[in-house]
Amino acid sequence: MNRFTYTRPGDMAAAVREVAAEPAARIIAGGTNLVDLMKYNVERPARLVDITRLPGLDTIEPTPSGGIRIGALVTNSAVAYDERIGRRYPLLASAILAGASPQLRNAASTGGNLLQRTRCYYFYDPGTGCNKRKPGSGCPAKAGLNRIHAILGTSEHCIATHPSDMCVGLAALEATVRATGSNGDRTIPFEDFHRLPGDHPEIDTTLAHDEIITAVDLPPEDFSAHHTYLKLRDRLSYAFALVSVAAALELDGDRIKTARFALGGVAHKPWRDAMAEQSLRDRPASTDSFAQAADIALTDAKGYGHNDFKISLARQAIVRALAQAAAGTPQSQTDKRIR
Ligand code: SF4
């Protein structure tokens, strides 16, 4: 491990200054991903800026518009087991409980969940090339072990996936990320927060180096009546998604008024397809409608060999998740049975 300095600023302005002054600074909160990356020599920060003592970032409170604001330091467990989240945003609670382990969820922060990095094997191995870890060094995953890799939104430079479950739920709910930095405060629609790899796979998000996430806002529309988070993985706990689907519907009888679904495990960011969602509007909530939407969403899907199976798995997962959401029988993430 390389040497680094450690600082624990007392207020947000000081934290922003500490980060802005050092290009190789990293913010640390729960540390559940960053510390692993430091042990593997993937992350080599010159300065760690500990934000865990900053005031005002650890609450869950209503917003003036009727939504809920989750502070950046609220742990994943505290979000998942909050009574208001469970009642109004069970989709989010379910997505969180599908991820990691209780110990990790007790330590991981809301802001950190958004900023966790891919679990691509090559990214974690400094003995190999990897454009995300070392730009220009290649992408061995394309012709290598790519069973867990992306089928949508890839580039010639990177085919990694984003590992978060919580973010897939936040994408379907159309959350907003709040951040502050040297140029002041701003809000970022969740859709615009994570980026595709393109020519710069080393950049995961649109957050500037000197910006710190302060909160995530959930809009008033909660889809509590018709939702599910379906996660398909190699084992039923402590495994990243091969494919996951956060589905949210608003129904009028058996017809669909609003449809949203976000996919996890298939792209560099939680994946939504506006045309696929639009295709469901004013259609009956039927298997045929869901299958057509799945086909639209996966039109451009491309496998790299070991992950070819994800295309058909994603198609089936979309249909099943939308059917569960329509029926009001969301996938349970606590009893671990697949239904
Ligand atoms: Fe690196 Fe991305 Fe290729 Fe994985 S998929 S080896 S993270 S460039």
pLDDT in tens, 203-242: 999 999 999 999 999 999 999 999 999 999 999 889 999 9
pLDDT score at 339: 59
Ligand 1 atom closest to Cα of 130?
Answer: 1
Query: Looking at domain 1-53, which CATH architecture does it have?
Result: 2-Layer Sandwich (3.30)
d(CA 55, CA 51): 9
Q: According to CATH, what is the number of the domain 56-332?
A: 3.30.390.50
Ligand 1 atom closest to Cα of 129?
Answer: 6
d(CA 167, CA 321): 17
Domain boundaries, the chain: 1-53, 56-332
Continuous H helices in 9-89: 12-20, 34-39, 76-80, 83-88
How close is the Cα of 88 to the center of ligand 1, in Å?
37
pLDDT in tens, 53-90: 999 999 999 999 999 999 999 999 999 999 999 999 99
Ligand 1 site residues, Cβ closer than 6 angstroms? 118, 120, 122-123, 130-132, 139-141, 149, 158-160, 201
Nearest residue by C-alpha to atom 2 in ligand 1: 158
Ligand 1 atom closest to Cα of 118?
Answer: 7
How close is the Cα of 157 to the center of ligand 1, in Å?
7
Q: Which of 42, 118, 302 to mutate to test the pocket of ligand 1 (most atoms within 8 A of CB)?
A: 118
Q: Which of 121, 145, 146, 158 to mutate to test the pocket of ligand 1 (most atoms within 8 A of CB)?
A: 158
Residue 44, exposed/middle/buried by CB under 10 A (0-12, 13-18, 19+)?
A: middle
d(CA 248, CA 267): 20
d(CA 303, CA 321): 22
Q: Which of 42, 120, 149 to mutate to test the pocket of ligand 1 (most atoms within 8 A of CB)?
A: 120
pLDDT score at 2: 87
243 forms beta bridges with: 232
pLDDT score at 338: 59
334 pLDDT more than 80: no
How close is the Cα of 121 to the center of ligand 1, in Å?
8
Question: Of the candidates 31, 33, 32, 34, which has an alpha carbon nearest to the alpha carbon of residue 44?
Answer: 34
Helix (H, G, I), strand (E, B) or coil at 153: coil
How close is the Cα of 234 to the center of ligand 1, in Å?
21
pLDDT score at 332: 85
How close is the Cα of 149 to the center of ligand 1, in Å?
9
Nearest residue by C-alpha to atom 1 in ligand 1: 130
pLDDT in tens, 152-203: 999 999 999 999 999 999 999 999 999 999 999 999 999 999 999 999 999 9
Please state the rounded mean pLDDT for residues 86-112. Answer: 97
Ligand 1 atom closest to Cα of 149?
Answer: 5
Least confident of 37-46, 84-93, 209-218, 327-336: 327-336
pLDDT score at 236: 86
How close is the Cα of 139 to the center of ligand 1, in Å?
5
Residue 190 sits at φ, ψ, to 5 deg, of: -55, -35
**Is the pTM for the entire model greater than 0.95?**
yes
